[in-house]
Amino acid sequence: MGKIYQVMVHGLRGEKMIIDLCNTEEQMQSMTVLQLKEKIATRLPESAGKEDVRLIFTDKHLDGDTMQLSEFGIQHMSVIQMVLRVHGGLHHLHLPALAPAHLLLLLH
């Protein structure tokens, strides 16, 4: 049986997941960030999809889903940190007439 190329992903609560990527060096060289996210998403609760997954390798954010993992220097058994994007942002709240007439910005 051939070699299985894998990476270790450290999750949000310190859990460690071994992700099987592929079976050959050629496949490993062409593996993309999106393909890795898809493999990770199968191991996450359904509430977290691949669009919410953010990956960090050393000090590099793995942005650009079409970029190859090899472009970031990722190889067999590299350790990748996973974080999830938190949705939210600024929301405007108009105060009632009895309150000062200005706009509050609330962070969610």
Asked if the model's pLDDT at residue 97 lies above 50, the reply is no
Q: State the Cα torsion 34-38-40-46 to the nearest 10°.
A: 130
Strands in the chain per DSSP E: 5-10, 16-22, 53-57, 60-61, 79-84, 90-94, 103-107
Q: Which of 48-52, 69-73, 97-101 has the lowest mean pLDDT?
A: 97-101
Asked if the model's pLDDT at residue 83 lies above 90, the reply is no
**pLDDT of 44:** 78
Q: Which domains does the chain have, with CATH numbers?
A: 5-107 (3.10.20.90)
Map tokens 């050393």 to a residue: 58
Query: In angstroms, rounded to a whole number, what is the distance separating the alpha carbons of residues 84 and 39?
Result: 15
Overall average pLDDT of the 4-32 stretch: 94
Overall average pLDDT of the 72-81 stretch: 97
pLDDT, one tens digit per residue, over 25-69 is: 999 999 999 999 999 988 877 656 667 779 999 999 998 899 999
8 A C-beta contact, residue 17 and residue 81:
no
Query: Would the pTM count as exceeding 0.75?
Result: no
